[in-house]
Structure 1
């Protein structure tokens, strides 16, 4: 693959340098054939994925067909006479419970006229000529800037040759998409076209009679069902899937930003699908973060590791030998949610305040445990506003130990008394509240000791921990999470452990997050407990009340 990419880059450079750059630009425009059959392959220079495909297109018959990966995935479009829509049929394989492959066929209505299958030429202008394989080649180039939060640039280059009838046939198309603020290229593809043929027969565009396309998909009503029907390797399905995604999450973008977001969505959708097919211990799913890059989602992860080793105001009262003896008497499973000690899931929104949410949840649980289940909705906003003097920085992040230190010295009011959560840094209003809930102090549980953590959960309540989060966890949906790629990475997120259990001989922690109930298992994630998974055992703290 490395040699292939190197060859592609070299050949692209050769094209550019052989261009007659002094040639005067003409006012010519690209005119594609109205009937064509082409083979092609798209090479993604970022991921290394090569996608072969074959297309048949007939304006006369008002139909087209696309085959991907040697025909494993196919789509047929048939325009409906005198109707403002056409029918898109798609076929792709699925694996049954006994791992047998079956071909399924779906059909959906597509509004509007039939789309061309060749590269869009709207932003392309003549950019010189060259020769290739004995033919005169026209070069077309375009560069557009994307405004909005994503901020970026799209560069396109198309090479074509002209037929005797004046129609243009593509031989190569290059698209490069990058972020304007750091120049990072997040999508770079080269598509090579070959074996052009102007003869397209009706039989080439007709679906096999052996296939029963009885399911008429009504897309747009249920995103989860839509994505089960659609396939991320079929371009029209990506368009349909992203439209359903935008409707579900009530998102709107400018036209140029829409394409950027769709590319990110498509990449994440394919990654999620490939991961889930591996049948590992956890599943991922498309969620509200799936058309964002990992860099853009850094606001979700605002917890830093302590500057130095902090034991808390009170040392952990048990040695490892005592812990091993105590754990024999503990229940095999514990869920503090069932005890009534844990309040409903919250969302930190677009603010790096996870450190405040995880420490506050631990304090809420400790107080509820001490009061036999009576709980209070405590104010994360008060920490965001007031804990700056302890090394925390509001929505720009903070540390668990200093959050507990702040609460131990100043107390924490209820959200009702202090005010609602705002997702931003505001003035500290602690002096205006009527009362605060106090804690005696906090303790750092013995690091990397699962049994010590179990003892702490049973005796003292929820435990706030700092972990490393990557893009896989941001798209977690269910199962027991274990990802070797997050091992040994820097701490960046604060969460709260509220229990533990065993499933299929796999021990796990029940972890409360602060990304709302639509993420994970109702706002929770189960994390593998037999190792220091994502550094979950390095910085565990509980409140003493």
Structure 2
């Protein structure tokens, strides 16, 4: 069986700023006295020292100042700053997505893709059914307390598992059970136990067997369809069946902070699995509400919003509904 699968705004006068003000002079003095490995490092730091030092403090980076890794991360960080300027210059529509510094800002684009964008999917058949009539203007499964907290896959290509398990958790709760976090680590068994019984390790390991008598959640069936050109029908699918596991193109998500992604979001290749938990079609720009698996420091507390219509980010290409 094949499964088709904000950074919070910097506040003036906060503790990070105080630490930065106190420690930046010491950093700069140290650099002046050290034998820096590359002649242009000081020039580059002079233009972005505040931002990079604040970034290192906020995301607990431990690489030393006078090191090759520091040089590499600084250059990736500066490339990211340039990328943010370009992406934000294109975001001129109401409630457009905003791009800036987050936990991925010291990764090169190649590193980011290799670490986080390794999902793939077969082409799903187009949805054959009619669109659902009389849909509400807004619908969010979180309002019904059937969506688990935002997970963090860490540097492991397990997004597809988080997407599927997220959908299973919600469908299980929609069916009348208590919302429980299931074990992503055991997902290949298709009979899930609770997260504490089988904790996530951010790597593939040997499967631990549980007897059939052990309580768990089993996946009975699923559907996988493409909804390109039929996103209103996809809205009905969400309302009827629960949160949907989808495969998207997330290349530009490395720099996402919040707002509605409306364009410049595709390399023409699906590469990341996420969970669509709702939509809002009441405003000027209708959008999908999407839970990611990169923790709550990414995006809007772990969520991303994608414009409905036009198959933005390939969000309608491969859409799975699960049945327990």
Normalising by the smaller structure, the TM-score range is 0.7 to 0.9
Contact 2:138 2:282 in 1 (8 A): no
Alpha-carbon shift at residue 451 of structure 1 (Å):
1.9
Matched pairs, number: 293
Contact 2:151 2:293 in 1 (8 A): yes
Normalized against structure 2, the TM-score is what? 0.81
Give the corresponding residue for 2:259: 479
Does 2:319 match 1:509?
A: no
Higher strand share: 1
Structure 2 Cα separation of the partners of residues 240 and 523 of structure 1: 26
Does 2:248 match 1:444?
A: no
Contact 2:100 2:256 in 1 (8 A): yes
Structure 1 Cα separation of the partners of residues 262 and 195 of structure 2: 35
Give the corresponding residue for 2:303: 524
Give the corresponding residue for 2:78: 266
Structure 2 Cα separation of the partners of residues 424 and 501 of structure 1: 36
Root mean square deviation, CA, Å: 3.0
- Moved runs in structure 1, 4+ residues, more than 6 A? none
* Alignment CA distance shift 1:460-1:109 (3 Å): closer
Structure 2 Cα separation of the partners of residues 515 and 266 of structure 1: 22
* Alignment CA distance shift 1:541-1:523 (3 Å): same
Aligned partner (choices 338, 342, 346) of residue 147 of structure 2: 342
Does 2:314 match 1:535?
A: yes
Greater relative CO, 1 or 2 (CA 8 Å, sep 6+):
2
- 1:347-358 maps to which residues of 2 (within 5 A)? 347-358=152-163
Contact 2:124 2:318 in 1 (8 A): no
* Gaps in structure 2 of 5+ consecutive residues: 1-20
Report SS of the residue matched to 2:281: strand
Q: Deviations over 1:123-170 (max 9, x none)?
A: 8xxxxxxxxxxxxxxxxxxxx7xxxxxxxxx7x7xxxxxxxxxxxxxx
Normalized against structure 1, the TM-score is what? 0.49
Aligned partner (choices 164, 167, 192) of residue 412 of structure 1: 192
Structure 2 Cα separation of the partners of residues 369 and 339 of structure 1: 8
Larger Rg: 1
- 1:229-244 maps to which residues of 2 (within 5 A)? 235-244=45-54
* Alignment CA distance shift 1:258-1:441 (3 Å): same
Structure 2 Cα separation of the partners of residues 413 and 520 of structure 1: 29
Give the corresponding residue for 2:117: 301
Give the corresponding residue for 2:56: 246
Q: Deviations over 1:397-419 (max 9, x none)?
A: xxxxxxxxx63xxx2222123x2
Contact 1:382 1:430 in 2 (8 A): no
Structure 1 Cα separation of the partners of residues 282 and 105 of structure 2: 28
Report SS of the residue matched to 1:338: helix
Alpha-carbon shift at residue 236 of structure 1 (Å):
1.9
Structure 2 Cα separation of the partners of residues 459 and 496 of structure 1: 15
Give the corresponding residue for 1:282: 97
Does 2:281 match 1:466?
A: no
Q: Deviations over 1:160-215 (max 9, x none)?
A: xxxxxxxxxxxxxxx7x9xxxxxxxxxxxxxxxxxxxxxxxxxxxxxxxxxxxxxx
